[in-house]
Structure 1
């Protein structure tokens, strides 16, 4: 992979647009036992009474069925709590430790595994499972109360949990601080402008475990390309990022697992640090 080594070497010598940025999605957490969203064993198939994700995973559905959505969210919370970071998460932490403030991680995952593994420079563009906010628009984002634990899929909310999931300001239901299918990216929850600024200043953007099914990740890749950065598409199969970069010069396509690719990237970065 001489081309990749050359790019890493080149970016490491630049004074501007010199960030090494990693964009991750659900595929990265699948090795930790968290199902991806749309696969045959996907989380939407297993946990939502066979609703289509575009129906169930919406603010509209939450307004109509808040308890059902919370039941499902707490089922996912339990799944996330039982999962542990995998080799890919740990390799990314080691890469961050080498690159320090030239490293940034943009993730679509809400499962907290990157934070659990020790990543610090992180932008969670689909929100996260730790926090809640008022569904009626009160401004504050707060942590999910510790008394609210993960649940089995058929386990109902208790009266105490329902009380804790009501906004203290206006009495409306609180909701998970995540992006649903019928919502738009913003800065407050989704770090939209921060992540696009990082993309603009990225000499190289590594894409891992995501197919590009939502529009901010695609916009991040487009921004990196626009300002002269290189896209490295690391996936086991072609995806929407592959289609985006197919006619571009500043691209590298790697068909390996995330862990295999990250080990290789880390070694290249280590070698450059030593020279």
Structure 2
């Protein structure tokens, strides 16, 4: 594994064009921080919404019918994320970014804010994030959740003050989490759709870490990277949709190990090149 990584990284490091080092991360990278994956047997949907399927609950349609329930659940997740800490994989990515600077880009499906808290700067949050809210009626401004609104326990209701702060000051409709729901489409404003595809186009290597590729844009990012000559490195504990995409391609490396160990090796290779 190390020799193959060295060869790939050396090639990309010395390229003049399409030479970005891009990392695409998903829920698996946050599992060591104690954040459950979303649809697994012990997933966050199971814990919080035992009577709903994720594709039913996590929709704009359901929000419009049950806004207080969804917002209360969003604040339950807010508390979960705030009580979690970035893990070693997050910190390895910060060190890699510090060495590569503008040649490093991080595309994440995670809304938990742990990459940002760890110290990464060049981040594309393609499923939005849990720090921000926006009007459910389409008013354009995206704002941070007011500091007054705190995370909640799963059985804790919204207060009158919460409701006041979660009402759009422009039109009076509910504010909603700035995340991508199952019945919504990717765009640039919330999801950095075009920015992330541009990064993929200019990548020399795309490292896929802790994600199975269950949604459209991550797969499109991998397809774009392949189309323009990038090498795909699939770092997951089991086969997934990306594996299926790259299995017959030449420019690929499939690694079935935990992300922390592999990211450490990648960091050390780049560190040696930077000296």
Please give the root-mean-square deviation of Cα atoms over the aligned residues, in Å. Answer: 0.6
- Corresponding position of 2:45: 44
Which residue does 2:238 correspond to in 1?
237
Q: Distance in 2 between matches of 1:236 and 1:210?
A: 10
Query: CA-to-partner distance for each residue in 1:21-65, whole Å, 9 max, x for gaps?
Result: 000000000100000011110001110133000000000000000
SS of alignment partner, residue 189 of structure 2: helix
Match of 1:12 in 2: 13
Aligned equivalents of 2:267 and 2:165: distance in 1? 44
1:203 positional shift: 0.1
Match of 1:25 in 2: 26
1:102-128 C-alpha deviation (Å, 9 max, x unpaired): 000000000000000000000000000
Q: Return the alpha-carbon distance in structure 2 between the equivalents of residues 221 and 197 of structure 1.
A: 12
Structure 1: how far apart are the matches of 2:41 and 2:236? 18
Task: Compute the displacement of 1:3 (Å).
Answer: 2.2
Q: Name the CA distance, whole Å, in 2 between partners of 1:62 and 1:80.
A: 21
Structure 2 distance, partners of 1:176, 1:213, is 21
Between the two proteins, the alignment pairs up a number of residues equal to 274
Match for residue 197 of structure 1? Answer: 198
Structure 1 outlier segments of 4+, above 6 Å: none
* Residue number in structure 2 paired with 1:130: 131
Report what 1:101 is aligned to. 102
Tell me the secondary structure at the aligned position of residue 6 of structure 1: helix
Partner in structure 2 of residue 67 of structure 1: 68
Aligned equivalents of 1:90 and 1:195: distance in 2? 22
**TM-score relative to the length of structure 2:** 0.99
**Whole-angstrom distance in 2 between the partners of 1:183 and 1:228:** 30
Residues of 1 paired with 2:270 and 2:13: CA distance? 9
Contact 1:24 1:207 in 2 (8 A): yes
Normalised by the length of structure 1, the TM-score is 0.99
Using the alignment, how far apart are the partners of 1:69 and 1:175 within structure 2? 9
